[in-house]
Amino acid sequence: MNSEDKKLSAENTVTSRRQFLKAAGGAAAVSALTVADVSAVHAAGNDMIQVALVGCGGRGGGAAINALATKSGPIKLVAMADAFPDRLKSSYDNLLPAVGKQLDVPEERRFIGFDAYRKAMDCLKPGDIVILTTPPAFRWVHFTYAIEKKLNVFMEKPVTVDGPTSKRMLKLGEDASAKNLKVGVGLMSRHARPLQELHERIRNGELGEILLMRGYRMHGPAGYFDSPPKPAGISDVDYQIRRFHSFLWASGGNFSDFYIHIIDHLCWMKNAWPVKAQALGGRHYRQLADGSTSVDQNLDTYSVEYTFADGTKFLFDGRCMNGATGIYSSYVHGTKGIAVASRANDCGGPSAIYKGQNVADANVVWQSTDTSNPYQNEWDELVDAVRNNKPYNEVKRGVEASLVTSMGRMAAHTGVEISYEDILNCPHEFAPGLDKLTKDSPSPLPPDAKGRYPVPQPGIVTTREY
Protein backbone atom coordinates (compact mmCIF):
# COMPACT_ATOMS: atom_id res chain seq x y z
CA MET A 1 0.00 0.00 0.00
CA ASN A 2 1.53 3.39 -0.90
CA SER A 3 1.29 6.37 1.43
CA GLU A 4 -1.61 7.92 -0.50
CA ASP A 5 -3.60 4.68 -0.23
CA LYS A 6 -2.73 4.32 3.48
CA LYS A 7 -4.05 7.83 4.08
CA LEU A 8 -7.29 6.95 2.30
CA SER A 9 -7.74 3.80 4.41
CA ALA A 10 -7.00 5.66 7.62
CA GLU A 11 -9.56 8.28 6.69
CA ASN A 12 -12.15 5.63 5.97
CA THR A 13 -14.59 5.81 8.82
CA VAL A 14 -17.60 4.38 7.00
CA THR A 15 -19.15 1.16 8.21
CA SER A 16 -18.07 -2.01 6.42
CA ARG A 17 -20.62 -3.74 4.21
CA ARG A 18 -20.83 -6.76 6.49
CA GLN A 19 -21.23 -4.63 9.64
CA PHE A 20 -23.83 -2.52 7.90
CA LEU A 21 -25.95 -5.49 6.88
CA LYS A 22 -25.84 -6.93 10.39
CA ALA A 23 -26.77 -3.64 11.98
CA ALA A 24 -29.42 -2.77 9.43
CA GLY A 25 -31.18 -6.10 9.57
CA GLY A 26 -30.50 -7.02 5.93
CA ALA A 27 -32.80 -6.53 3.00
CA ALA A 28 -35.59 -4.81 4.93
CA ALA A 29 -33.31 -1.87 5.51
CA VAL A 30 -32.22 -1.60 1.91
CA SER A 31 -35.11 0.57 0.77
CA ALA A 32 -34.22 3.25 3.31
CA LEU A 33 -30.71 3.71 1.97
CA THR A 34 -29.45 6.87 0.37
CA VAL A 35 -27.54 6.81 -2.91
CA ALA A 36 -24.26 7.21 -1.02
CA ASP A 37 -24.84 3.90 0.75
CA VAL A 38 -25.34 1.91 -2.37
CA SER A 39 -22.11 -0.02 -2.59
CA ALA A 40 -22.36 -0.95 1.08
CA VAL A 41 -25.30 -3.19 0.29
CA HIS A 42 -24.60 -4.41 -3.20
CA ALA A 43 -26.35 -7.50 -4.43
CA ALA A 44 -29.44 -6.59 -2.40
CA GLY A 45 -28.37 -7.84 0.95
CA ASN A 46 -26.24 -10.90 0.43
CA ASP A 47 -22.52 -11.49 0.12
CA MET A 48 -22.54 -12.66 -3.50
CA ILE A 49 -20.96 -10.15 -5.88
CA GLN A 50 -22.24 -10.53 -9.42
CA VAL A 51 -19.95 -9.51 -12.26
CA ALA A 52 -20.71 -8.63 -15.89
CA LEU A 53 -18.06 -8.56 -18.61
CA VAL A 54 -18.35 -5.95 -21.40
CA GLY A 55 -15.73 -6.56 -24.08
CA CYS A 56 -14.92 -10.27 -24.17
CA GLY A 57 -11.44 -10.20 -25.68
CA GLY A 58 -8.03 -11.18 -24.36
CA ARG A 59 -7.89 -8.76 -21.43
CA GLY A 60 -11.57 -9.06 -20.64
CA GLY A 61 -11.18 -12.81 -20.12
CA GLY A 62 -8.05 -12.24 -18.03
CA ALA A 63 -9.78 -9.61 -15.88
CA ALA A 64 -12.76 -11.91 -15.34
CA ILE A 65 -10.42 -14.68 -14.15
CA ASN A 66 -8.72 -12.23 -11.75
CA ALA A 67 -12.12 -11.07 -10.47
CA LEU A 68 -13.31 -14.63 -9.83
CA ALA A 69 -10.00 -15.52 -8.15
CA THR A 70 -10.49 -12.94 -5.39
CA LYS A 71 -10.83 -14.74 -2.06
CA SER A 72 -12.77 -12.30 0.11
CA GLY A 73 -16.23 -13.80 -0.51
CA PRO A 74 -18.54 -15.37 -3.11
CA ILE A 75 -18.32 -13.88 -6.59
CA LYS A 76 -19.53 -15.07 -9.98
CA LEU A 77 -19.77 -13.94 -13.60
CA VAL A 78 -23.42 -13.64 -14.60
CA ALA A 79 -23.50 -11.74 -17.92
CA MET A 80 -21.30 -11.16 -20.95
CA ALA A 81 -21.54 -8.58 -23.75
CA ASP A 82 -19.56 -8.13 -26.93
CA ALA A 83 -20.00 -6.37 -30.25
CA PHE A 84 -19.30 -9.62 -32.12
CA PRO A 85 -20.65 -13.16 -31.54
CA ASP A 86 -17.39 -14.96 -32.40
CA ARG A 87 -15.49 -12.97 -29.78
CA LEU A 88 -18.05 -13.68 -27.08
CA LYS A 89 -18.16 -17.38 -27.89
CA SER A 90 -14.41 -17.87 -27.76
CA SER A 91 -14.24 -15.94 -24.49
CA TYR A 92 -17.00 -18.07 -22.95
CA ASP A 93 -15.34 -21.26 -24.17
CA ASN A 94 -12.01 -20.20 -22.66
CA LEU A 95 -13.51 -19.12 -19.35
CA LEU A 96 -15.52 -22.29 -18.75
CA PRO A 97 -12.60 -24.64 -18.01
CA ALA A 98 -10.74 -21.88 -16.16
CA VAL A 99 -13.45 -20.84 -13.67
CA GLY A 100 -16.03 -23.67 -13.70
CA LYS A 101 -19.16 -22.99 -11.65
CA GLN A 102 -18.29 -19.34 -11.13
CA LEU A 103 -19.30 -18.90 -14.76
CA ASP A 104 -23.07 -18.56 -14.55
CA VAL A 105 -23.84 -17.08 -17.97
CA PRO A 106 -26.58 -19.02 -19.76
CA GLU A 107 -27.41 -18.12 -23.38
CA GLU A 108 -30.04 -15.59 -22.30
CA ARG A 109 -27.40 -13.55 -20.47
CA ARG A 110 -24.95 -13.43 -23.41
CA PHE A 111 -25.55 -10.24 -25.39
CA ILE A 112 -24.28 -9.16 -28.80
CA GLY A 113 -24.11 -5.75 -30.49
CA PHE A 114 -23.31 -2.13 -29.68
CA ASP A 115 -26.16 -1.95 -27.15
CA ALA A 116 -25.20 -5.28 -25.51
CA TYR A 117 -23.47 -3.43 -22.67
CA ARG A 118 -26.82 -2.12 -21.43
CA LYS A 119 -28.41 -5.56 -21.39
CA ALA A 120 -25.46 -7.07 -19.51
CA MET A 121 -25.48 -4.30 -16.90
CA ASP A 122 -29.26 -4.64 -16.57
CA CYS A 123 -28.59 -8.17 -15.22
CA LEU A 124 -26.73 -6.67 -12.22
CA LYS A 125 -27.95 -5.07 -9.01
CA PRO A 126 -26.59 -1.82 -7.57
CA GLY A 127 -23.22 -2.49 -5.96
CA ASP A 128 -22.26 -5.36 -8.28
CA ILE A 129 -19.22 -4.98 -10.58
CA VAL A 130 -18.99 -4.47 -14.33
CA ILE A 131 -15.74 -5.03 -16.23
CA LEU A 132 -15.20 -2.60 -19.14
CA THR A 133 -12.60 -4.09 -21.48
CA THR A 134 -13.59 -2.94 -24.95
CA PRO A 135 -11.24 -0.67 -26.90
CA PRO A 136 -11.01 2.63 -24.96
CA ALA A 137 -13.16 4.68 -27.36
CA PHE A 138 -16.25 3.19 -25.70
CA ARG A 139 -15.12 3.71 -22.11
CA TRP A 140 -17.10 6.92 -21.43
CA VAL A 141 -20.23 5.45 -23.03
CA HIS A 142 -20.16 2.32 -20.89
CA PHE A 143 -19.02 4.13 -17.73
CA THR A 144 -21.95 6.55 -18.05
CA TYR A 145 -24.42 3.68 -17.98
CA ALA A 146 -22.58 1.89 -15.15
CA ILE A 147 -22.92 5.01 -12.99
CA GLU A 148 -26.60 5.29 -13.89
CA LYS A 149 -27.05 1.67 -12.76
CA LYS A 150 -25.01 2.31 -9.57
CA LEU A 151 -22.45 -0.34 -10.42
CA ASN A 152 -18.87 -0.61 -9.22
CA VAL A 153 -16.47 -0.71 -12.16
CA PHE A 154 -13.18 -2.16 -13.32
CA MET A 155 -12.09 -0.48 -16.55
CA GLU A 156 -8.99 -1.11 -18.61
CA LYS A 157 -6.49 1.51 -19.69
CA PRO A 158 -6.29 3.77 -21.63
CA VAL A 159 -9.51 5.36 -20.39
CA THR A 160 -9.49 8.17 -22.99
CA VAL A 161 -7.76 8.90 -26.30
CA ASP A 162 -8.34 12.67 -26.75
CA GLY A 163 -9.05 15.94 -24.92
CA PRO A 164 -12.86 16.13 -25.09
CA THR A 165 -13.41 12.58 -23.80
CA SER A 166 -10.83 13.18 -21.05
CA LYS A 167 -12.86 16.10 -19.72
CA ARG A 168 -15.98 13.93 -19.90
CA MET A 169 -14.31 11.08 -18.02
CA LEU A 170 -12.98 13.38 -15.29
CA LYS A 171 -16.54 14.52 -14.66
CA LEU A 172 -17.84 10.92 -14.73
CA GLY A 173 -15.17 9.93 -12.21
CA GLU A 174 -16.52 12.60 -9.85
CA ASP A 175 -20.08 11.40 -10.45
CA ALA A 176 -19.00 7.87 -9.49
CA SER A 177 -17.45 9.11 -6.24
CA ALA A 178 -20.60 11.10 -5.45
CA LYS A 179 -22.50 7.80 -5.61
CA ASN A 180 -19.84 6.04 -3.50
CA LEU A 181 -19.01 3.68 -6.35
CA LYS A 182 -15.63 1.96 -6.42
CA VAL A 183 -13.69 2.21 -9.68
CA GLY A 184 -10.46 0.42 -10.56
CA VAL A 185 -8.41 1.34 -13.66
CA GLY A 186 -6.14 -1.29 -15.21
CA LEU A 187 -2.85 0.54 -14.73
CA MET A 188 -1.55 -2.48 -12.87
CA SER A 189 1.95 -1.03 -12.35
CA ARG A 190 0.41 0.92 -9.49
CA HIS A 191 -0.42 -2.40 -7.81
CA ALA A 192 2.97 -4.03 -8.49
CA ARG A 193 4.67 -4.47 -5.10
CA PRO A 194 8.23 -3.93 -6.44
CA LEU A 195 7.20 -0.58 -7.95
CA GLN A 196 5.30 0.40 -4.80
CA GLU A 197 8.41 -0.30 -2.72
CA LEU A 198 10.64 1.58 -5.18
CA HIS A 199 8.23 4.53 -5.03
CA GLU A 200 8.46 4.59 -1.22
CA ARG A 201 12.25 4.38 -1.32
CA ILE A 202 12.47 7.24 -3.81
CA ARG A 203 10.14 9.29 -1.59
CA ASN A 204 12.47 8.48 1.34
CA GLY A 205 15.41 9.98 -0.56
CA GLU A 206 17.31 6.76 -1.32
CA LEU A 207 17.90 7.85 -4.93
CA GLY A 208 18.54 11.53 -4.13
CA GLU A 209 16.97 14.11 -6.46
CA ILE A 210 15.58 12.70 -9.72
CA LEU A 211 17.57 14.11 -12.66
CA LEU A 212 16.28 12.07 -15.61
CA MET A 213 13.96 9.17 -16.39
CA ARG A 214 14.05 6.83 -19.40
CA GLY A 215 11.44 4.40 -20.70
CA TYR A 216 11.51 2.03 -23.67
CA ARG A 217 9.07 -0.25 -25.40
CA MET A 218 10.69 -1.47 -28.59
CA HIS A 219 9.86 -4.76 -30.28
CA GLY A 220 8.41 -6.07 -33.52
CA PRO A 221 4.89 -5.24 -34.73
CA ALA A 222 2.43 -6.50 -32.08
CA GLY A 223 -1.35 -6.70 -31.71
CA TYR A 224 -3.10 -4.85 -34.54
CA PHE A 225 -0.24 -2.39 -35.00
CA ASP A 226 -0.72 -2.66 -38.76
CA SER A 227 -3.61 -3.73 -40.96
CA PRO A 228 -4.08 -4.84 -44.55
CA PRO A 229 -6.73 -3.01 -46.60
CA LYS A 230 -10.28 -3.75 -45.45
CA PRO A 231 -11.64 -6.83 -47.20
CA ALA A 232 -15.10 -6.84 -48.76
CA GLY A 233 -18.01 -8.01 -46.65
CA ILE A 234 -17.17 -6.14 -43.44
CA SER A 235 -18.05 -2.53 -42.61
CA ASP A 236 -15.41 0.10 -41.87
CA VAL A 237 -16.64 0.42 -38.32
CA ASP A 238 -16.45 -3.33 -37.64
CA TYR A 239 -13.02 -3.59 -39.29
CA GLN A 240 -11.62 -0.68 -37.31
CA ILE A 241 -12.99 -1.91 -33.98
CA ARG A 242 -11.67 -5.43 -34.51
CA ARG A 243 -8.22 -4.03 -35.38
CA PHE A 244 -8.36 -1.15 -32.90
CA HIS A 245 -4.60 -0.60 -32.40
CA SER A 246 -4.42 0.52 -36.04
CA PHE A 247 -6.92 3.37 -35.65
CA LEU A 248 -6.53 6.44 -33.46
CA TRP A 249 -10.22 6.95 -32.68
CA ALA A 250 -10.62 3.42 -31.33
CA SER A 251 -7.45 3.10 -29.23
CA GLY A 252 -5.18 6.16 -29.45
CA GLY A 253 -3.09 3.90 -31.70
CA ASN A 254 -0.28 1.65 -30.59
CA PHE A 255 1.26 4.67 -28.81
CA SER A 256 -1.56 4.98 -26.28
CA ASP A 257 -2.32 1.29 -26.03
CA PHE A 258 1.27 0.00 -25.69
CA TYR A 259 3.16 2.85 -24.04
CA ILE A 260 0.82 4.12 -21.31
CA HIS A 261 2.09 1.74 -18.60
CA ILE A 262 5.72 2.85 -18.65
CA ILE A 263 4.73 6.51 -19.07
CA ASP A 264 2.35 6.18 -16.11
CA HIS A 265 4.69 4.44 -13.70
CA LEU A 266 7.68 6.68 -14.40
CA CYS A 267 5.53 9.79 -13.80
CA TRP A 268 4.41 8.13 -10.56
CA MET A 269 8.07 7.73 -9.51
CA LYS A 270 8.40 11.50 -9.96
CA ASN A 271 5.02 12.09 -8.23
CA ALA A 272 4.06 14.53 -10.99
CA TRP A 273 2.73 14.75 -14.52
CA PRO A 274 4.85 16.42 -17.21
CA VAL A 275 3.75 19.86 -18.37
CA LYS A 276 4.79 19.50 -22.02
CA ALA A 277 6.24 17.19 -24.66
CA GLN A 278 8.14 17.40 -27.91
CA ALA A 279 8.58 14.32 -30.04
CA LEU A 280 9.81 12.68 -33.23
CA GLY A 281 8.43 9.75 -35.16
CA GLY A 282 8.68 8.07 -38.52
CA ARG A 283 6.60 5.87 -40.75
CA HIS A 284 9.25 3.76 -42.43
CA TYR A 285 8.00 0.33 -43.47
CA ARG A 286 4.36 0.02 -44.49
CA GLN A 287 4.52 -2.93 -46.89
CA LEU A 288 3.00 -6.07 -45.38
CA ALA A 289 4.18 -9.62 -46.04
CA ASP A 290 1.35 -10.14 -48.57
CA GLY A 291 2.54 -7.12 -50.60
CA SER A 292 -0.30 -4.84 -49.55
CA THR A 293 0.24 -1.44 -47.93
CA SER A 294 -0.90 -1.21 -44.31
CA VAL A 295 -3.85 1.16 -43.78
CA ASP A 296 -3.11 1.83 -40.09
CA GLN A 297 -2.50 5.35 -38.68
CA ASN A 298 0.57 4.54 -36.53
CA LEU A 299 4.20 5.59 -36.81
CA ASP A 300 6.85 2.84 -36.62
CA THR A 301 9.07 4.83 -34.25
CA TYR A 302 8.32 7.36 -31.54
CA SER A 303 10.81 9.35 -29.46
CA VAL A 304 9.33 11.69 -26.87
CA GLU A 305 10.97 14.22 -24.53
CA TYR A 306 8.60 14.99 -21.67
CA THR A 307 9.37 17.98 -19.40
CA PHE A 308 8.17 18.38 -15.80
CA ALA A 309 7.43 21.75 -14.16
CA ASP A 310 10.85 21.72 -12.41
CA GLY A 311 12.64 21.13 -15.73
CA THR A 312 13.34 17.41 -15.17
CA LYS A 313 13.24 15.40 -18.41
CA PHE A 314 11.72 12.00 -19.13
CA LEU A 315 12.72 10.38 -22.43
CA PHE A 316 10.49 7.70 -23.93
CA ASP A 317 11.28 5.61 -27.03
CA GLY A 318 8.76 3.32 -28.70
CA ARG A 319 9.31 1.21 -31.78
CA CYS A 320 7.48 -1.57 -33.64
CA MET A 321 10.09 -2.87 -36.05
CA ASN A 322 11.45 -6.31 -36.74
CA GLY A 323 15.22 -6.81 -36.70
CA ALA A 324 16.00 -3.73 -34.60
CA THR A 325 17.22 -4.10 -30.99
CA GLY A 326 14.41 -4.88 -28.56
CA ILE A 327 14.31 -2.93 -25.27
CA TYR A 328 11.30 -2.96 -22.95
CA SER A 329 12.19 -1.49 -19.52
CA SER A 330 12.31 1.73 -17.48
CA TYR A 331 14.90 3.67 -15.43
CA VAL A 332 15.12 6.55 -12.96
CA HIS A 333 18.40 8.46 -12.57
CA GLY A 334 18.97 10.29 -9.27
CA THR A 335 21.83 12.20 -7.68
CA LYS A 336 22.67 9.16 -5.50
CA GLY A 337 22.21 6.38 -8.05
CA ILE A 338 20.07 4.73 -10.70
CA ALA A 339 16.89 2.68 -10.25
CA VAL A 340 15.51 0.02 -12.55
CA ALA A 341 11.74 0.42 -12.30
CA SER A 342 10.50 -2.23 -14.76
CA ARG A 343 13.22 -4.71 -15.64
CA ALA A 344 11.20 -6.28 -18.46
CA ASN A 345 7.77 -5.56 -19.95
CA ASP A 346 5.26 -3.11 -18.49
CA CYS A 347 6.08 -3.66 -14.81
CA GLY A 348 8.23 -6.77 -14.48
CA GLY A 349 10.43 -7.09 -11.39
CA PRO A 350 12.73 -7.16 -9.71
CA SER A 351 12.96 -3.40 -9.31
CA ALA A 352 16.28 -2.27 -7.87
CA ILE A 353 18.41 0.68 -6.79
CA TYR A 354 22.13 0.86 -7.66
CA LYS A 355 24.79 3.26 -6.44
CA GLY A 356 26.34 5.32 -9.24
CA GLN A 357 24.83 5.38 -12.72
CA ASN A 358 25.64 1.84 -13.88
CA VAL A 359 23.23 -1.08 -13.56
CA ALA A 360 25.74 -3.65 -12.30
CA ASP A 361 25.43 -6.43 -9.69
CA ALA A 362 28.32 -5.00 -7.68
CA ASN A 363 26.41 -1.72 -7.26
CA VAL A 364 23.10 -3.08 -5.90
CA VAL A 365 21.79 -1.16 -2.90
CA TRP A 366 18.31 -2.72 -2.82
CA GLN A 367 16.42 -5.25 -4.92
CA SER A 368 12.73 -6.20 -4.62
CA THR A 369 11.73 -9.79 -3.75
CA ASP A 370 7.91 -9.76 -4.07
CA THR A 371 6.66 -11.77 -7.05
CA SER A 372 2.89 -11.40 -6.61
CA ASN A 373 0.79 -10.79 -9.71
CA PRO A 374 -0.14 -7.10 -10.10
CA TYR A 375 -3.22 -8.02 -12.18
CA GLN A 376 -4.48 -10.06 -9.21
CA ASN A 377 -3.45 -7.42 -6.66
CA GLU A 378 -5.53 -4.75 -8.41
CA TRP A 379 -8.61 -6.98 -8.22
CA ASP A 380 -8.03 -8.06 -4.63
CA GLU A 381 -7.86 -4.38 -3.66
CA LEU A 382 -10.93 -3.35 -5.67
CA VAL A 383 -13.11 -6.17 -4.30
CA ASP A 384 -11.87 -5.50 -0.77
CA ALA A 385 -12.94 -1.86 -1.21
CA VAL A 386 -16.35 -2.97 -2.47
CA ARG A 387 -16.93 -5.47 0.35
CA ASN A 388 -15.65 -3.18 3.10
CA ASN A 389 -16.86 0.12 1.67
CA LYS A 390 -13.43 1.76 1.43
CA PRO A 391 -12.93 4.83 -0.75
CA TYR A 392 -11.58 3.63 -4.10
CA ASN A 393 -11.62 5.57 -7.34
CA GLU A 394 -8.69 5.46 -9.80
CA VAL A 395 -10.42 7.40 -12.59
CA LYS A 396 -8.69 10.78 -12.15
CA ARG A 397 -5.19 9.35 -12.32
CA GLY A 398 -6.31 7.00 -15.13
CA VAL A 399 -7.48 9.99 -17.17
CA GLU A 400 -4.32 11.94 -16.36
CA ALA A 401 -2.12 9.01 -17.42
CA SER A 402 -4.16 8.66 -20.63
CA LEU A 403 -3.86 12.41 -21.34
CA VAL A 404 -0.11 12.56 -20.73
CA THR A 405 0.27 9.60 -23.06
CA SER A 406 -1.88 11.37 -25.68
CA MET A 407 0.26 14.51 -25.18
CA GLY A 408 3.40 12.63 -26.28
CA ARG A 409 1.55 11.01 -29.17
CA MET A 410 0.15 14.33 -30.40
CA ALA A 411 3.60 15.96 -30.18
CA ALA A 412 4.96 13.22 -32.49
CA HIS A 413 1.98 13.30 -34.83
CA THR A 414 1.98 17.09 -35.24
CA GLY A 415 5.72 17.80 -34.98
CA VAL A 416 5.08 20.67 -32.58
CA GLU A 417 5.44 21.02 -28.80
CA ILE A 418 2.25 20.07 -26.98
CA SER A 419 1.52 21.18 -23.42
CA TYR A 420 -0.79 19.45 -20.94
CA GLU A 421 -3.26 22.33 -21.42
CA ASP A 422 -3.01 21.93 -25.23
CA ILE A 423 -4.00 18.26 -25.16
CA LEU A 424 -6.66 18.75 -22.48
CA ASN A 425 -8.28 21.61 -24.42
CA CYS A 426 -7.72 20.26 -27.95
CA PRO A 427 -11.25 20.29 -29.44
CA HIS A 428 -10.63 17.34 -31.80
CA GLU A 429 -12.87 14.54 -30.56
CA PHE A 430 -11.85 11.56 -32.67
CA ALA A 431 -15.21 9.75 -32.56
CA PRO A 432 -18.16 11.92 -31.49
CA GLY A 433 -21.52 10.26 -30.89
CA LEU A 434 -20.26 6.79 -30.02
CA ASP A 435 -23.15 6.44 -27.57
CA LYS A 436 -25.44 6.33 -30.63
CA LEU A 437 -23.34 3.89 -32.68
CA THR A 438 -25.24 1.06 -34.39
CA LYS A 439 -24.01 -1.67 -36.70
CA ASP A 440 -25.20 0.43 -39.66
CA SER A 441 -23.52 3.69 -38.58
CA PRO A 442 -20.76 5.13 -40.76
CA SER A 443 -17.29 4.84 -39.27
CA PRO A 444 -15.86 7.87 -37.43
CA LEU A 445 -12.88 7.40 -39.80
CA PRO A 446 -14.13 7.18 -43.39
CA PRO A 447 -11.74 5.85 -46.06
CA ASP A 448 -10.76 7.76 -49.21
CA ALA A 449 -11.63 6.47 -52.70
CA LYS A 450 -8.68 4.04 -52.55
CA GLY A 451 -9.66 2.64 -49.15
CA ARG A 452 -6.90 4.50 -47.27
CA TYR A 453 -7.33 6.32 -43.97
CA PRO A 454 -5.67 9.64 -43.06
CA VAL A 455 -2.26 9.39 -41.35
CA PRO A 456 -0.42 11.99 -39.24
CA GLN A 457 1.59 14.58 -41.21
CA PRO A 458 4.00 16.24 -38.73
CA GLY A 459 4.72 19.86 -39.64
CA ILE A 460 1.85 19.95 -42.14
CA VAL A 461 -1.17 19.18 -39.95
CA THR A 462 -0.24 20.71 -36.59
CA THR A 463 -3.47 21.45 -34.71
CA ARG A 464 -4.94 17.96 -34.87
CA GLU A 465 -3.40 14.52 -35.38
CA TYR A 466 -5.01 13.72 -38.76
Contacting positions for ligand NAD (CB under 6 A): 54-60, 81-84, 87, 114, 116-117, 133-136, 138, 156-157, 186, 188, 241, 257, 346
Tell me how far the alpha carbon of residue 358 is from its chain's centroid. 32
Could you give the CA distance from residue 241 to residue 401 in angstroms, rounded to a whole number?
Answer: 23
* Least distance to ligand NAD, CB of residue 396, Å: 18
351 burial level (CB within 10 Å; 0-12, 13-18, 19+) = buried
* Least distance to ligand NAD, CB of residue 186, Å: 4
* Least distance to ligand NAD, CB of residue 276, Å: 25
Q: Which is closer to ligand NAD, CB of 57 or CB of 194? A: 57
312: phi then psi, degrees, rounded to nearest 5: -60, 140
Q: Which is closer to ligand NAD, CB of 175 or CB of 238? A: 238
Nearest to 20 by CA among 238, 240, 180, 166: 180
Q: Which residue sits closest to ligand NAD, CB atoms considered? A: 57
Q: Which is closer to ligand NAD, CB of 134 or CB of 246? A: 134
Q: Which is closer to ligand NAD, CB of 20 or CB of 224? A: 224
* Least distance to ligand NAD, CB of residue 80, Å: 10
Q: Which is closer to ligand NAD, CB of 50 or CB of 251? A: 251
Q: How many residues does the chain have?
A: 466
* Least distance to ligand NAD, CB of residue 155, Å: 8
* Least distance to ligand NAD, CB of residue 104, Å: 20
* Least distance to ligand NAD, CB of residue 138, Å: 4
Q: Which is closer to ligand NAD, CB of 38 or CB of 169? A: 169
DSSP state of 194: H
Residue type, position 259, single letter: Y
Assign residue 373 a region (left: φ > 0; alpha: ψ between -120 and 50; beta: otherwise): beta
How many C-alpha atoms does 109 have within 13 Å on its Cβ side?
18
Could you give the CA distance from residue 78 to residue 272 in angstroms, rounded to a whole number?
Answer: 40
Tally of CB atoms within 10 A around 94:
16
Tell me how far the alpha carbon of residue 256 is from its chain's centroid. 9
Torsion of CA 96, 100, 101, 107, to 10 degrees: 10
Q: Which is closer to ligand NAD, CB of 87 or CB of 168? A: 87
Q: Which is closer to ligand NAD, CB of 37 or CB of 257? A: 257
Could you give the CA distance from residue 21 to residue 17 in angstroms, rounded to a whole number?
Answer: 6
* Least distance to ligand NAD, CB of residue 27, Å: 32
